[in-house]
Structure formats: structure tokens, C-alpha cells
Amino acid sequence: METTPTLPDNPSFNVLNIPTSDQPRLVIVGGGFGGIQLAKSLRGKGFQVVLLDRHNYHTFQPLLYQVATAGLEPDSIAGPLRRMMQSTKDFYFRLANVNRIQTEERILETSLGQLRYDYLVIATGSRTNYFGQEENFGKAFPLKQVPQALDLRSQMLQSFEKAVISSDLNERKELMNFVIVGGGPTGVEVAGALGELKNHVLPSDYPDLDFRQMNIYLVEGNTRILAGMSEKSGEKALRYLKRFSVNTLLERTVTSFDGHQVVLSDSTEIPCQTVVWAAGVRGNVFQGLPEEAIDRGRIKVDSYNKVAGLDRVYALGDVAKMESEDFPQGHPMLAPVAIQQGQLLAKNLKREQKGKTQIPFQYKDKGSMATIGRHRAVVDIGKIRIGGIMGWYIWMFVHLWSIIGFRNKLVVFWNWVWNYFTYDRGTRLIIRPYIPRDNVEKG
Amino acid sequence: METTPTLPDNPSFNVLNIPTSDQPRLVIVGGGFGGIQLAKSLRGKGFQVVLLDRHNYHTFQPLLYQVATAGLEPDSIAGPLRRMMQSTKDFYFRLANVNRIQTEERILETSLGQLRYDYLVIATGSRTNYFGQEENFGKAFPLKQVPQALDLRSQMLQSFEKAVISSDLNERKELMNFVIVGGGPTGVEVAGALGELKNHVLPSDYPDLDFRQMNIYLVEGNTRILAGMSEKSGEKALRYLKRFSVNTLLERTVTSFDGHQVVLSDSTEIPCQTVVWAAGVRGNVFQGLPEEAIDRGRIKVDSYNKVAGLDRVYALGDVAKMESEDFPQGHPMLAPVAIQQGQLLAKNLKREQKGKTQIPFQYKDKGSMATIGRHRAVVDIGKIRIGGIMGWYIWMFVHLWSIIGFRNKLVVFWNWVWNYFTYDRGTRLIIRPYIPRDNVEKG
């Protein structure tokens, strides 16, 4: 592998067509929360910035579950990356995957060809973690990307269309049972949204189906849900889920799923065709990084987001494992961490150029929250715990505030108002096969 | 084929799971403008209504071109069929294709199985017409369905992403040339929208591309565009297109397209990877209809929409060929014709039950229109011709008025206001492969 011919550091031979610049070239891999925050914070700070992403849009992942459950249109939660960086000087976006890094030569091997960097920031985020059981759960639906959310939405709606005409009792069970694996925020929010669909939306669309037969199971290996939040909020969430007819099965894991039946660790068998996999994520790492820099799928960084043992290479957000006294297992994989690291890294890069000392990262915890269907959410802010309808209002405000772009804010707001008053879902389109599953699984 | 075993007319053996009813069963094939109008008009009129469609949504086709050119989200121009017919008694929707009819036994062969009918209304609309040259134009993009529009949108955006990194001058030409075949309303509106993207939207997204190199060609075999409208409007539209940098090539047809080059009938060669096929449509007919009922791909009907030679079988909208003094070649394939025929057919079916005489169809021409980019449209209403910004306002009002559902109206309106003031397009997501092309081509 070391014999791969390297590009001469000659700007005229540049397959990605990025002009030479008198500013050093900083390449950001990944247009998630961390990557775009960094790109924005670096505006006019003396770097040529090249952003690579395999999609041409940023995904507002906290609302992906609403796309999957027909509450929002995909375009509302995605921001075209080129628009977000419009009129930024010496900035270049390229639609590309990174396969490998050659750290010695400072070269990235991308799907478009090789690219030289002066500085590199790895902000590739996280991918679905099957804990080495990809084969057992290849038929489960992950929920990390827009195409996956659309695929899950179509699968769910198709299940009811099939259930309507099914006279086989067992098949009907398979079609109307939904199993969600993982009791973190994504799993809880999907379960709550499905519960709301069951109680309020679907019965009027499918008057010939008996929705008492629709069962939603949330399976969590731990003794509680929302392990990242306070115990009080976890308990509250459990109660809210119950109210939305979700069966939460704690201290159990899923051992197999063949497309028709889920088997749990206590041998429970659930006939089911739709399994949502929200059990875990791991860092999205490409090849060529030194082995000692990788720890459980994440890249080890110091408190300045610098990758251990490499020069001018940084990692931030979900993919970065920054240990500290408060977070001995690394910081949580949350959007605020990525955003704050992006902000600080931009500042530190500038300070480095000026010969100033670096500022170590200090996470400002803005709190965490999860919503469970209509009128219910749990919110932890510092020592404060808020639940119920008040939590729900806070949840909505924070998400509307954070979503990128004035246009998206209004479209999302309008959809929520509509859904709230009409108990309707605008976006019940079955468009399948949306994208070959194998293609989106990667990453 | 005649030996296909037929279902006994026994309601207990019913693979589509539609209950028996004391009302006669009327099956509508196709949830387009005609089909849904009929279904709505038949509410409470003494029929069990079964609606079949291969999508679970109605497509507002007049705005498909805006989805293809990143102006609107697909969900805004689609209405879920189940929602549209909510709380209608003795109404059943099934997601199914119809492959064949057995007229003797009154049975439809669908993708779900066989279905008996008492009355049948064929409202299958039209499909892309390649005039027998499917092989030559298999790589062109049709524009009749939502997945096709999304596919075209991704193709267009991918072309610019590729052009940015292309150093091959000819490849860059291929990527930045767009050929639209057919100078009817769809072709004209796509060309105008691409012209607006070229002039106002794309340059700020792709500052490293020179958009003077983007060429839009509209190819029309006739001596004029918009042949269905007045000469004056055709000429005006031609001028507007010029203003939006569209090269209209009249009296020429496309003879081949290999994915990289278009050849015209006068031997002009245009390097081009994206060809939009808007050259024509034909009726969407399934098998088993008597040969004498089919005329140039449409189903011949009398002035009551009754299919020639068949009992209790009707066709309406694009698929129906109803000749009259004013329309010796059949009525135009337009939404208002389908809607008016749906309304009248519901009335006539009711009159038949009461033993009253049937009312022959009389088309009320509400006028026709086409928009060409920002601020420009041509409108013919009776003898009145309106163009320019006044026409544009009328065009917008009529389309907002006609689109189904209050939610869609507001979302579309908001998107238009946003696009207008910001010269922005919210929906520039590349999500490909959206759907295998072969699958959506059918119909």
C-alpha cells in the first residue's frame, strides 16, 4: 500500500481543479455540524478552505426521525453546502468521498483523485454501529442519512398498504409490528413519533385496519432509556412512551432479525418486517491513519483537537475522541460538542499563525433533550429537569433556532403548525426503491 | 392468454380484500386529475368506489418541472390519495398496477391479483411518447412523474459538480449543455426555468464556472412553439425564452442521443449529457381492450366517455380519445378536460341509475398558459392574450388556486416568495440513484 504513486506537489497537476493560493490549504472532510462551523469560522482567516463531502448538502440530523415518520420533507432539514458558503473567498466545495490518507506526503485519496493538503481537519462524523453483526442486521433500517430516512418512511407506509390486503394473520402481524433497537434519543424519538402516528394519524388513512394491532417495541440493553440524560428524565420519558402505546423492553438486546422475525436475548420472538436500528454509532474513519491514533473507531485527539502523532492533522465532532477529566471515555457524540470544537479550532489555527498559545477545549454543556410525541419532551439543563408540555415548547424552540437557514426555519415551523392542528402528515409519499440500501450503508 | 383462469364472482375469494357492498362496485384506475375528480364527485352517489394507482399520491403535473429545476420540493406538489379521500364511505384505495382487463368476466388483472368490477373507469393518463424510438432515447430524461423529476434535478446538479473539476474542454461542454426536446408547455417551462437558474441562481453556487458556457437548447419540429396556444402567445414566448438565454431551434428534430452527443435532423451535433424529453405523450393503455377501441395509443370514447363496444367501461382524461366537431383529433390532453369529464361522468352515472337521459360532454375552455422564468408568462383566455408580468401573476394565481390542499398551497406560495426575493433555490439536494430509471419509465 505504501507504494501508491504520490502526486508531485505541483499545482498544475490537480485533478480536483482547485487553484493555487498564497494561503495555506486547509481541507475539511465532512460537512456536518463541526465541519461547517469550522468552515464558517475560518472565513477571512488566512486559509484556502476546501470542503469535501459525499453529499452536496448538510443534514440536520436531530430532525431526521421526523423525515422518517412523515412529519417533515427532506429538503426542510437539509442545507445545500454551496449555498451555506456562498461568496466566501478562496473556498472550494467538492462532492467526494475520502478513501485513504497518506500522512507522509500530506495527500488525501478521494473518489475524484488525489488532493494535497497543508492542514487537514477530519470531521467525518459517525456511522451506524452494528457491533460487528452487520450480517445479522443487514435488513434493519439505519437512520443517519436523508436517503435512509426516506427509505424508512416508504417502508413504513408500504407495510400498511400491504397489511390492508393481507389475509394471512401472521403476515399482518409482521407488517404492523415495529421494533426500534436502542433507547437513546433517536430510538426514543422514533418510537414516540410512531406512537403518535398510530394514535392520531394513521387510523383515518386506513379505516379498514385495526390499529390496536399495531405494536411498537423499543428494545434497550441497559436498565433505563436515555442513558445520557438524568434518571428523572429517563423515567419521565418512559412514562410518556407508555402513553403513546410504546412497549419499552429494557435489559434485553436483539440477537437476530431475518426480515420477518426479531429474536431478543431472552428468546422473545416478535414477528416484524421493520426494524429501526438506533443502537449505536461509531466514528467514520478512513484508511491510512496510524493505528495508535484509533480507539474504538474514533480518532484520538488532544484537547486542541490535534490527532495524536500527526502534524497539522485535526479531528473534531463525533469522529474525535477527546478524553478529559469530565469525559474519560471521550466527549459525547453530540452536535454542540462538534460546533464548539469547530469554533475553537478556527480560533486556535489563527492563534498558531500569529505565534500565540493554544486554548484547550472546554465543553459548555447546553443541556440535552428528547421529545416523545405530541406535547411531551424531557429536557436537562444543568441541574434543571423540565418535562411535559413546557419541555416540548423548549424542544421546539431550540430545534427551530438551530436549524440552518431562514427558509428552512419557516418551512419547518409551518409544517409543525399544520401537523399540530390537523393531526395530518403532509409527506406520506412512497417513493421506492429510493436508493440501493448497500450504497447508503457505507458511512 | 385467453385461458387465464378467471375468478369466480365470489366475494369471499377477494385478494384485494375489498368487502362486499350492496352498492355496485365502480373501479377507477388512476389517481390523476380525472380519477380523483370522479372519486370525489361520486361521494354518496350509490357506488362502492375502488381507486387503484401505482403511487400512493396524486401528482400535480403542471408543477413537476419546478421540482426538476430545484424550485419546489416533491412533497409540495403531491397529495396522498388516502388523505384526499379520508372519511369517504365505501371507498377503498389500493396501491396496484393494472396489467390487463378481461372484459367478458369484468375482471381486472392487477399486480395484487384479480379484481371484479361492475363499472370501470380508465383514467390512466398519458406516458412519455418516444414515437417508437425508445432505444435511441433511452438515456433522455422524461418528466411525467415525481421520481423522474427528482432524477433530472440530481442529474443537472451533478453535471455542474462534474464540470467544476473537469479539465477536458469537450466534457465540460457536454456537462454544461442542456437539450430540451419538444416546444410544448413542458419543454418551454423547463427551458425557461433552466434559463433562470443560469442567469440568477447557479453563478453564486459555482463561482469557478463560467456560465456563459452553459447553453440551453429547445428543439421543436414545428415552425413554432406552444402549438396549442395562439400565434401571438407563441411568438411572445419565443422572445421571453431568448431573454432567458434559451436557443430555440425550430423545424428540427432530434435523431439520436448516445449519452454524450445529440444529433439533430439537420446534422447539427451538440455535445450534451442531459436531454429532457418533452416531445410528446400517448395514452397509458393496459392489455385486453378490444383492438377497435384503441386509436393511436388512446381509448376511443363517445361523448359520454363510454368506451366503444364495451358495457359499463369508461375512459376519461388524457387516455380517452373523444372526437367532436371542435376536436376532430380528440380533446386536448389537459387537466381541465379530465376534471370536467370526471364531473360529468359522475353526474351521468347517477342519472343512468335514475333512468334519466345522459348529458353529452361539452368542453369549457378555461384558457391555456405557460410561464417562462421570472416575470414572464403567456396566457390565452378565449380571444384574450396576456403576456409579461401580468400573465405571470395570472399563471401563479391559477396554479396556486388549483393545487390540492391548503397545506400545499401555503408551502408552494412560501417557496415562491422565497425564491423570488432571494434568487435562491431551497431544494438543491443530489439524492441519486433515486430510482432505477427502467422502473419509472413504464407509464
pLDDT digits (tens, 9 = 90+) for A340-377: 999 999 999 999 999 999 999 999 998 899 999 888 99
Does any domain span residue B79?
no
Interface contact A17-B164, CB threshold 8 A? yes
The yes-or-no verdict on residue A42 having pLDDT over 50 is yes
Does any domain span residue B259?
yes
Does any domain span residue B393?
yes
pLDDT in tens, A274-331: 999 999 889 999 999 999 999 989 999 999 999 988 999 999 999 999 999 999 999 9
Q: Kindly state whether residues A259 and A392 are assigned to the same domain.
A: yes
Task: Report residue A371: phi and psi, to 5°.
Answer: -110, 145
Output the pLDDT for position B437.
37
Does any domain span residue A170?
yes
Mutation target vs A (from B431, B437, B438; most A CBs, 10 A cutoff): B431
In angstroms, the CA A16 to CA A7 distance is 12
The yes-or-no verdict on residue A12 having pLDDT over 70 is no
**Closest to B292 measured CA to CA, from B29, B114, B103:** B103
In angstroms, the CA B257 to CA B255 distance is 7
In angstroms, the CA A193 to CA A197 distance is 6
Burial A212-250 (b: 16+ CB within 10 A, else e): eebbbbbbbbeebbbeebbeebbebbbebbeebbbebbe
Output the pLDDT for position B442.
37
In angstroms, the CA B115 to CA B58 distance is 22
Output the pLDDT for position B179.
98
Does any domain span residue A360?
no
Q: Kindly state whether residues A249 and A303 are assigned to the same domain.
A: no
The yes-or-no verdict on residue B109 having pLDDT over 60 is yes
Q: Kindly state whether residues A253 and A168 are assigned to the same domain.
A: yes
Give the confidence band of A406 by pLDDT, cuts at 50, 70, 90: low
Output the pLDDT for position A424.
64
What average pLDDT does this structure show over A45-62? 94
pLDDT in tens, B354-366: 999 999 999 999 8
Output the pLDDT for position A91.
96
Does any domain span residue A346?
yes
pLDDT in tens, A184-220: 999 999 999 999 999 988 998 999 899 999 999 999 9
Interface contact B161-A56, CB threshold 8 A? yes
Does any domain span residue B201?
yes
Report how many domains make up chain B: 2
Output the pLDDT for position B10.
45
CB nearest B429 (choices: A16, A75, A87): A75
Output the pLDDT for position B304.
98
The 8-class DSSP code of residue B307 comes to: B
Q: Kindly state whether residues A304 and A345 are assigned to the same domain.
A: yes
A88: helix, coil or strand? coil
Q: Kindly state whether residues B269 and B298 are assigned to the same domain.
A: no
Residues 6+ apart with CB under 8 A from A64: A77, A143, A144, A145, A146, A148, A149, A186
The yes-or-no verdict on residue A131 having pLDDT over 90 is no
Would you say A369 and A377 are in contact if contact means Cβ atoms under 8 Å apart?
A: yes
Higher-confidence residue of A163 and A428: namely: A163
Cell of B211: 456560465
The yes-or-no verdict on residue A435 having pLDDT over 60 is no
B32: helix, coil or strand? coil
The yes-or-no verdict on residue B429 having pLDDT over 90 is no
Domain that holds residue A44: 25-54+96-128+282-353
Q: Kindly state whether residues A246 and A304 are assigned to the same domain.
A: no
**Closest to B122 measured CA to CA, from B338, B281, B309, B402:** B338
Is B424 part of the contact surface with chain A (CB cutoff 8 Å)? yes
The mean-pLDDT minimum among A16-30, A43-57, A135-149, A269-283 falls in A135-149
Give the confidence band of B439 by pLDDT, cuts at 50, 70, 90: very low
Helical packing angle, A169-176 and A146-165, nearest 10°: 150
Q: Kindly state whether residues A292 and A345 are assigned to the same domain.
A: yes
Q: Kindly state whether residues A150 and A267 are assigned to the same domain.
A: yes
The yes-or-no verdict on residue A431 having pLDDT over 90 is no
Strands A25-29 and A48-53: parallel
Residues 6+ apart with CB under 8 A from B231: B224
pLDDT in tens, B121-148: 999 999 998 888 888 888 999 999 998 9
- Helices (H), strands (E): how many in chain A? 12, 26
Our CA-based measurement puts residue A323 at a distance from the nearest CA of chain B, in whole angstroms, of: 36
What average pLDDT does this structure show over B42-47? 95
**Closest to A189 measured CA to CA, from A129, A235, A143:** A143
Would you say B12 and B38 are in contact if contact means Cβ atoms under 8 Å apart?
A: no
Output the pLDDT for position A6.
40
Interface contact B146-A430, CB threshold 8 A? no
Output the pLDDT for position B424.
64
Output the pLDDT for position B130.
87
Boundary residue ending a domain (A353, A383, A398): A353
Mutation target vs B (from A55, A75, A171; most B CBs, 10 A cutoff): A75
Output the pLDDT for position B397.
86
Is B55 part of the contact surface with chain A (CB cutoff 8 Å)? yes
The yes-or-no verdict on residue A166 having pLDDT over 50 is yes
Is B94 part of the contact surface with chain A (CB cutoff 8 Å)? yes
Give the confidence band of B313 by pLDDT, cuts at 50, 70, 90: very high
The yes-or-no verdict on residue A145 having pLDDT over 80 is yes
Q: A432 contacts in B (CB within 8 Å)? A: 435
User: E strands along A306-443, which residues?
Assistant: 313-315, 320-322, 368-371, 377-381, 384-386
A142: helix, coil or strand? strand
Output the pLDDT for position B418.
73
The yes-or-no verdict on residue B14 having pLDDT over 60 is yes
CATH number for position B203: 3.50.50.100
Task: Report residue A56: phi and psi, to 5°.
Answer: -95, 15
Residues 6+ apart with CB under 8 A from B254: B137, B179, B181, B219, B262, B263, B264, B265, B275, B279
Cell of B30: 388512476
Output the pLDDT for position A5.
39
Would you say A259 and A126 are in contact if contact means Cβ atoms under 8 Å apart?
A: no
Q: Is A312 left (phi over 0), alpha (psi -120 to 50) or beta?
A: left
Cell of B254: 432530434
What average pLDDT does this structure show over B272-290? 94
Give the confidence band of B40 by pLDDT, cuts at 50, 70, 90: very high
Cα-trace Rg, chain B: 23
Q: Kindly state whether residues A269 and A287 are assigned to the same domain.
A: no
Interface contact A82-B205, CB threshold 8 A? yes
Would you say A225 and A183 are in contact if contact means Cβ atoms under 8 Å apart?
A: yes
Boundary residue ending a domain (A319, A353, A387): A353
The mean-pLDDT minimum among A391-395, B116-120, B269-273, B414-418 falls in B414-418
Q: A429 contacts in B (CB within 8 Å)? A: 55-57, 74-75, 78, 80, 146
What average pLDDT does this structure show over B183-191? 96
In angstroms, the CA B150 to CA B167 distance is 28
Output the pLDDT for position B156.
93
Q: Kindly state whether residues A229 and A102 are assigned to the same domain.
A: no
Q: Kindly state whether residues B269 and B287 are assigned to the same domain.
A: no
Is A404 part of the contact surface with chain B (CB cutoff 8 Å)? no
Q: Kindly state whether residues A101 and A194 are assigned to the same domain.
A: no
The 8-class DSSP code of residue B338 comes to: H
A413: nearest CA partner in chain B:
B411
Does any domain span residue A40?
yes
CATH number for position A321: 3.50.50.60
